[in-house]
Structure formats: structure tokens, C-alpha cells
Structure 1
Amino acid sequence: MTAGHALLRHPGGAHHALLHQEDDALALVDLDAAFAGRPAVLATVANPLPGWRNSARAASADGGLIVLSGQRSVFALEPDGRTRWEYRHGCWGDGPHRHGGPEPCPGLSRGSVQVGADGGLVWAHVLPDIDHGNPVTDSYEQWLVLDAAAGTVLGVARIEGGSQGSHQLPHPDGTRMILGTGQGQDGSPAYVGHWDGSALTVREIGDGFRIPVAVHPGGRAFLSTPHGYDSLWLHRFPDGRVLMDRDAADLTGGEGDGDGTAPAWDFVAGFVDGHTVIAAAYDAHHHREASRHWLLDALTLRPLGPVAYPDGDRYPGRGDNPVALGDGTWLTLAADGTTLNRWSPHRR
């Protein structure tokens, strides 16, 4: 999410948690308890990466492990703040170099981490150490499977280089993961990885210009949004075959809104539950402003209608993206930039 919130999504999980990052600490919060008015903070740990605010964050479904993707290392933390293990890798700072000292290097590029659904594996997208090969002529990145208990590298896959950032979507079977990478105007290659207990296999999915955004709660499909002005796609898992696509023009019957606007899909969509998708669309004629949320049928992507939020409950403009929880609800960030609101299709 935004404003320092990182939602921890585990398809089929029994509860939902969120990591909130301040400069010097991270708090792991049980969302279900928070919305019910019960004590909700599961853990508060010192941030091992002070001064660098571009880390990706993840945690196990039970809250027993917090993982951070730093500029130079992956950190696995216990709920009491102790470091369980650290895996050092090449620096995401600008250009190939050997970093030194504790200060972050210039640059905003980063990798990502995710914990498998069963908590036993940590998946990490990293740069190889600069001493492994020639970084000028042999530019590539690595997708690792690590043992969550000890940080031991179990599997390594070499993937295309040039990423500015990435994100990972866990599959409910605990052995597979989707990796989406961003390369700016050069595209957004995406991959499916499978750890069978002895080897990591990876296949690229899509055409290099799709952003995987959500796994169906049952694990049999996933959604991708366009890197540019294309359709929203529903894919079969794991081969990525396109089962259904929906043009944003279908939201308004293919005729626009009648006032000169032209809807286009934003980068965010998700499964409200196994039958319903929520997605954001913006006005392509007005600099991606005036984002609106739509409910769609999860099987056909047929528009069910726009979400009518009560006045004052939704932050105006693009950027207030919905985050679907898979249990029939979704989250948005309130106008104050810190409060989360939880919605369902039947809220009045």
C-alpha cells in the first residue's frame, strides 16, 4: 500500500496483517484485530536499514518471521527484533560497484522478498555479488529460494537484468511464486517460479509488458494489469495462458463517459473474493487523474458497476488504489494519508 503500509497477502490465509514502517522501527499489525477494536500489534522491531526508505517487506502468515529486502542484504527478523539471518548480495545502488561503509548508496532501484504460504521458504529477488562474474558484460539478476529457518540458499535462478524494482505474489500451495519486475519504458517481465523440494524452475510469462497483481484465492488463476494502455487480463495459473481480457472502454460501453474522458486501467486490481474483482481505472485524457474503482465478475471480467463511496470516505484523485483482501472486502487509504478504511460490496 502507500504511506509506509505494506499489506501482507497470503492467498487463502485465515487472517490479514500489515507492516507499517517508520524510519527507525517496523510494526506488524493484525488487521482483523485492529478493525475489531482489539489489541492488534503483533511485533515491533528496530529497522535494520535506517536511512534507506526503499526496502520491500514481507512476513510469514503467522507473524513469526519478518523479512526485509535491503539495498545490500536480505534480513530475516524474529518478532522480538533479533536477526535470524542475513543474506548479503550485490548492491542495488547506481551502477556496478563495490559498496563500503554503512550509508546507503545513491539510487532507488531495489529487489523484493516474499514468504511462501506455508512459511518454510523465503523468495528473494537480488543482484549477484559483484565478485561473481563481470558486472559490465554479464549483467543479470537472481531469484533465490532460501530456507526460512537458516537462510540457506536452496535454489537459484538467473533472470533478465535491468530491473528498477519488483514485487512477488505467493501461491497458496506454498511451493510457487510469481515475480513481477519493472524496467521503466523497457517493459515489465514477469515469471512463475516453482520449488519442488530439490530444484527451482522458472518460466517467463506474458509478453514482457504485463504487471501481475493478484492470485485467485483458490490458486487457479491470476490477474495482470497493463504496462501501458492495454486490457486487464485474467490468466490461467501456472502457464499464464490468457483466459479473459477486458478493455477499459467496456466500463462505459465503449463510448467514453460522454464528457471527453477515456477510461484506462490503472496498475492495481485484486480479488475481493473468488467471484469478484476490484480494479481501478483513470481518465487517460487528464493525466491519470480522477481514478475510479470498479467491481468486475471474476470469471468473465464483466463490469458489475463502479463503487459509490460515501462522500468524504475516499481520497480524491489517482493513487488511492484499492487493496483486495480475498475475503469479500478491500482496503483504501483515507484522505488523512494514514487511516485505512475497509469496505465490502454491500456496505451502505
Structure 2
Amino acid sequence: MVYDVDTGAVLARRELETVGHAAGHHVHPVDGSVYLDVGEGQDGSVIFRGTTGADGEVEFVAYPWWDRCLIDLAPGGEQFMTVDHGQADVAFHRHPDGDVLFTLPVEAFGYDPAETFVEWSGGYLTPDTAVVVLGGEDEEEWFRYHLVDVHTGTVGGEIAVEVTSPYEFVPLGDGSWLTGGPVRRSRATAGTDPDPAIPRG
């Protein structure tokens, strides 16, 4: 359902025909359209995009995948990042049509796909760089944060992120990120350790 923020009136309603029990909203930073990622548990994930036409009518588009999870939108809005529901790869798509720009499987990061997976987390650290989170389990669970050039698909170095869960890491698109609380961190150059924590607020 789409509501008028001033009056609460229902502007549009659509049956999504999903069996989801949760959804994430992502507002496009330029055109204001809304991406909706509906998780369907073991059945996968469905991504919708809602827009308002020139006539004021609300329109919904469903992307033709049921097996990709929306992770983040680029700060400039020209692309978005998804992870395979089975966690085998990460892909970067053109906005708004969703065409795949490039895909990186686990092997592209130098890991064995039988022992390593792409986490459903990460995102755009800057307009030019995304962070892809790889995870696995040896004697205990581990996560590593890899940098990717979103224009060329080149895998770069790693950054050090101090979290207990990969979902605590939230990149903000300006070179900084949150780590599970009111602490914002940044880095000076690719592949270096983060600067000391800078409390905000």
C-alpha cells in the first residue's frame, strides 16, 4: 500500500502475489522511486520498484528474478547491488531496467565456493566502490570485507571491520560506515584499517 504522508490517505494498493514475511525498502536517491525487496524465506526473494507517473498514477514493476536479494542502491542512483539467494555470487545492475552490468562469483575473490559464501550484506562504500562480504566457517564463523570497483568489476583489497555480525556493517556511500550503533567509521585509502571510531550525535 502507498500512503499520502500528509493525510494518510491510501494512494495505491497492489497485491504482490508473494509469500513474503518481511520486506526491505530502498529509496532511490535521485528519482525518489522505491525498491521493495520481499524475502520469501527458502523460496527466495522478489524485488519490486514503485514509481509515480507524470499523471500522478503509482506504477509497480516486478524484476524478473526470484533468486536475488537487493543489498543496496548506488549513492548516485545509477546502479544497484544484489546477492544470489543461494549466496553463490554478487551482481551489479543498471537502474532502472535491472540489466546486469557484471557478476562476481565466490571464486573471483579467491575462495573455494564449497566452503565460502557471499553474505546478504555490504553495499556501496562510495559512488565508485562497493564492499562485498564473504563468509565461511572453519573452527568458528568468519567474515571478510572486500572492495570492488563498481565501474570495472575489479576486485580490490580488504578493509578491516570490527563487528560480531556481517549485518552490523552499514556503508553510507560517502566513504564511511556504521557498525551496529551510533559509531561512524571511515578509511583513508583502500585496503587500510579504518580510522579510529568517531562518535556522532
Asked whether the two chains share a fold, i.e. TM above 0.5, the reply is yes
**How far apart in 2 are the matches of 1:270 and 1:188?**
18
Note if 1:168 corresponds to 2:25.
yes
Alignment root-mean-square deviation, CA: 2.4
Q: Where does residue 155 of structure 1 map in the other structure?
A: 12
Q: SS of the residue aligned with 1:150? A: coil
**How far apart in 1 are the matches of 2:169 and 2:152?**
20
Q: Where does residue 59 of structure 2 map in the other structure?
A: 201
Q: Deviations over 1:114-161 (max 9, x none)?
A: xxxxxxxxxxxxxxxxxxxxxxxxxxxxxx221111111112222113
Q: SS of the residue aligned with 1:249? A: helix
Match of 1:326 among 161, 173, 185: 173
Q: 1:320 to 1:169 in 2, by over 3 A?
A: closer
Q: Deviations over 1:33-74 (max 9, x none)?
A: xxxxxxxxxxxxxxxxxxxxxxxxxxxxxxxxxxxxxxxxxx
Note if 1:189 corresponds to 2:36.
no
Q: 1:343 to 1:202 in 2, by over 3 A?
A: same
Q: What number of residue pairs does the alignment pair up?
A: 190
Q: 1:248 to 1:288 in 2, by over 3 A?
A: farther
Contact 2:68 / 2:84 at 8 angstroms: preserved in 1? yes
Q: SS of the residue aligned with 1:225? A: strand
Amino acid at match of 1:276: T
Match of 1:272 among 115, 125, 130: 125
Q: Where does residue 82 of structure 2 map in the other structure?
A: 224
Unaligned runs of 5+ in 2: 196-201
Measure how far apart 1:315 and its partner are.
3.1
Measure how far apart 1:287 and its partner are.
9.5
* TM-score, L = length of structure 2: 0.84
**How far apart in 1 are the matches of 2:75 and 2:10?**
28
Give the greater-gyration-radius structure (CA): 1
**How far apart in 1 are the matches of 2:47 and 2:2?**
17
Measure how far apart 1:327 and its partner are.
0.9
Contact 2:125 / 2:176 at 8 angstroms: preserved in 1? yes
In proportion to residue count, which structure has more strand? 2
Q: 1:326 to 1:222 in 2, by over 3 A?
A: same
Greater RCO structure (CA 8 Å; 6+ sep): 2
Contact 1:280 / 1:321 at 8 angstroms: preserved in 2? no
Contact 1:329 / 1:345 at 8 angstroms: preserved in 2? no
Unaligned runs of 5+ in 1: 1-143
Contact 1:251 / 1:263 at 8 angstroms: preserved in 2? no
Q: SS of the residue aligned with 1:185? A: helix
Q: 1:229 to 1:213 in 2, by over 3 A?
A: closer
Contact 2:30 / 2:76 at 8 angstroms: preserved in 1? no
Match of 1:298 among 150, 156, 170: 150
Note if 1:343 corresponds to 2:186.
yes
Q: SS of the residue aligned with 2:108? A: helix
Contact 1:280 / 1:322 at 8 angstroms: preserved in 2? no
**How far apart in 1 are the matches of 2:13 and 2:138?**
44
Match of 1:262 among 96, 115, 126: 115
The 5 Å alignment of 1:85-104 reads none
Q: Where does residue 248 of structure 1 map in the other structure?
A: 106
**How far apart in 2 are the matches of 1:320 and 1:176?**
25
Match of 2:163 among 288, 309, 315: 315
Q: SS of the residue aligned with 1:189? A: strand
The 5 Å alignment of 1:9-24 reads none
Runs of 4+ in 1 over 6 A off after TM superposition: none
The 5 Å alignment of 1:29-68 reads none
Amino acid at match of 1:241: D
Contact 2:133 / 2:166 at 8 angstroms: preserved in 1? no
